[in-house]
Amino acid sequence: MSRSSTSRVLAVLACLLSATPSAAQNVRRLTSTIPPASGGGTTVRVIPGQSISAAITAAGVGGVVLLKAGTHRIADIGSLTPLNNQVILGERDATGTRVSRLNGSRILTNWIADSGRWYVTGQTQAGTVSTDPNDCDMGTPENPVTAGRYDRCIYPEQLYFGCNAVATCTMKHHETSLMATGAGEWFFDYAADRIYVGDDPTSAFVETAVLDHPFTGTATGVTIRGLVIEMFATRNNEGTVETEGADWLIDDNEIRWNHGAGVYVGTTSGMARARGNYIHHNCNYAIIGAGANILVDQNELAYNNILPQSTDWEDTCGFWSFWGAGATKFVHTLGLIFHKNYSHHNNGPGFWADIENRLGIVEYNRFEYNRRSGIFWEISCAAVIRYNGAINNGLGGDFPGIMTGTGIEVNTSRDVEVHGNVAVGNIGGGISGYDDGVRNGGSEAGGPCILAGFTWQLVNLNVHDNIIESCINSAGLGLTGVIDTNTGDSSNAFTTATFEGNSYILGTATNYFMWSAGEIAQAAWTAVGHDTPGGTFGSCP
């Protein structure tokens, strides 16, 4: 690596590290760098309890609906339908904290004691159940789970104790049967329209998620800004806040404690943007999306698929991070830009693009302390991954030797360039290419990758001018290179992958590289032509 390249990458890392993590799990920077909404339309103010739908009508096209401080409950009213070019806006207090809460739950009272449990009747709000058997956590050999423990992750309802006060918010575990329900758990008896809890609710503030989405409709140019959006019974693999029409902007919100993803960005025309949001403690993902012209910019994505009372990824909502959970998942995108986001402490990858994503750019982001890889680009094509910081990811230590918890993982994808990144302390390794068996792709004829019917392979992986530090001394961990579990196409994975001009800082283990012969040492790595000339190799402190 040249001196100028090293200086540039180190400068990028310094910039990425200049923003410090939040002091507490539910606290984000208090002041906003995004200006408030403005425009020539009518502004209508709404205090909690007043009709937001009436305010939307009164504000008219291009108007502003200002939700005043407090909790606006819409669970028993239904989703809101903005008009073209409207802004739905929240307030901040004197410290800059968002104080307008848009809430999709119902308060539960009139509890009846029943043999060490309590129940409430009249709960008829059962939402759409997921039919995907892989959604719920099945564990790994390194981190097993009790069989069936998380089987109710397919139901969208959640139960909350004390979430009127953020510091004490607790989300209970949805148990699979009434008889198994004890302390810290709850059970929805859908047939009897009853909710049971295993903790005394009579002196607690208890809520259950009821409504699936806060907004609906096909209006164009809508902005959702400055709100706290919470406690929605969003179905698996859907977003609580969704860009329903063209040119929606989801801007400067706090989105938390929802069952599905916090945000879905996607549209069949125009743009879809999510900017400057703090999206945390949602059960499925922070952000998901599909389609063209998507921009995800300057968001903080934290603690998703983790319960709000915890900072530990083992205290989980119950989604399986090897199928669908973590910070993001994007599918069938064209020209996705993922820029300057801070993704940390998610139970899953820090970024995940999976299935026919093309011409994507992942740049200037910071990924830290995620259970799986910091960046995960899977069965997709034509991406540039550059100038990111991937630090201390792969905390699950799942499947060592297969490099599933690296700083940057490119899985069974074509034409991906990875350069100018800094990967430090990632458990699975630094930067990895993985050819994952025979995976048939091209599910959409003429779709984003324009290769309908072909078989996905790891082809033309170009990794250059990155800084990679691996000080781990355990076999199967801390690796950089390529692994191929599909013996039928191994020549493509190994003959088309290049590693050039990378700078390595390595520990005292024998092998820190993976190639066709398996785990190999530095001398064998350079002997096959990688990082020579131009690469540098140093030792960990």
Domain boundaries, the chain: 101-326, 349-541
Is the pLDDT at 8 greater than 90? The verdict is no
Helix (H, G, I), strand (E, B) or coil at 482: strand
Q: What percent of the chain has pLDDT over 90?
A: 78
Residue 395 token pair: 């905390």
pLDDT score for 313: 80
Is the pLDDT at 477 greater than 60? The verdict is yes
pLDDT score for 287: 98
Q: What is the pLDDT of residues 482-515, one digit of tens each?
A: 998 876 555 678 999 999 999 999 999 889 999 9
Residue closest to 419 by CA, chosen among 362, 458, 465: 465
Q: Dihedral, CA atoms, 392, 394, 395, 400, nearest 10 degrees?
A: -130
pLDDT score for 15: 53
Q: What is the pLDDT of residues 112-152, one digit of tens each?
A: 999 999 999 999 999 999 999 899 999 999 999 999 999 99
Phi-psi region of 90 (alpha: psi -120 to 50; beta: other; left: phi over 0): beta
Q: In the chain, count H helices and then E strands.
A: 4, 48
Sign for the CA dihedral angle at 372, 257, 293, 439 comes to positive
C-alpha 376/C-alpha 408 separation (Å) is 6
Q: Which residues of 388-424 are buried (b: 16+ CB within 10 A; e: fewer)?
A: bbbbbbbbbbbbbebbbbbbbbbbbbbbbbbbbbbbb
Q: What is the pLDDT of residues 418-460, one digit of tens each?
A: 999 999 999 999 999 999 866 665 555 456 676 545 668 888 9
Mapped to the 3 state alphabet, what secondary structure does 329-381 carry? Answer: EEEEEECCEEECCEEECCCCCCCEEECCCECEEEECCEEECCCCCCEEEECCE
CB-neighbour burial class of residue 381 (10 A; exposed 0-12, middle 13-18, buried 19+): buried
Helix (H, G, I), strand (E, B) or coil at 525: helix
Residue 235 token pair: 């179905």
Q: Dihedral, CA atoms, 322, 328, 329, 333, nearest 10 degrees?
A: -160
pLDDT score for 34: 41
Higher pLDDT, 305 or 13: 305
Q: What is the pLDDT of residues 43-70, one digit of tens each?
A: 999 999 999 999 999 999 999 999 999 9
Confidence of residue 35 (pLDDT cuts 50, 70, 90): very low
The single-letter DSSP state of residue 400 is T
pTM: 0.93
Residue 512 token pair: 């820190």
Residue 334, amino acid: L
C-alpha 56/C-alpha 59 separation (Å) is 5
The single-letter DSSP state of residue 152 is G
Contact 402, 411 (CB under 8 A): no
C-alpha 380/C-alpha 447 separation (Å) is 11
pLDDT score for 29: 27
Contact 99, 123 (CB under 8 A): no
The mean pLDDT of the chain is 90
Residue 76 token pair: 């028993």
Q: What is the pLDDT of residues 371-404, one digit of tens each?
A: 999 999 999 989 999 999 999 999 999 999 899 9
Residue 118 token pair: 């309590």
Q: What is the DSSP string of 10-70?
A: HHHHHHHHTSPPPSSTT---SS-SSPPP--SS-EEEE-TTS-HHHHHHHH-TT-EEEE-SE
* Cis amide bond preceding 141, omega within 30: no
The single-letter DSSP state of residue 490 is H
Q: What is the pLDDT of residues 258-313, one digit of tens each?
A: 999 999 999 888 899 999 999 999 999 999 999 999 999 999 999 999 999 988 88
CB-neighbour burial class of residue 21 (10 A; exposed 0-12, middle 13-18, buried 19+): middle
Q: Dihedral, CA atoms, 458, 500, 431, 6, nearest 10 degrees?
A: -150
C-alpha 171/C-alpha 181 separation (Å) is 14
Residue 381, amino acid: C
Residue 160, amino acid: Y
Residue closest to 409 by CA, chosen among 428, 394, 425, 431: 431
Cα Rg, the chain, nearest whole Å? 24
C-alpha 115/C-alpha 214 separation (Å) is 37
Contact 85, 220 (CB under 8 A): yes
Q: What average pLDDT does range 191-198 have in this prediction?
A: 98
Helix (H, G, I), strand (E, B) or coil at 191: coil
C-alpha 301/C-alpha 295 separation (Å) is 15
* Host H or E run for residue 523: helix 522-527
Residue closest to 259 by CA, chosen among 277, 283, 292: 283
How many Cα atoms are found within 13 Å in the side-chain-facing hemisphere of 147? 0
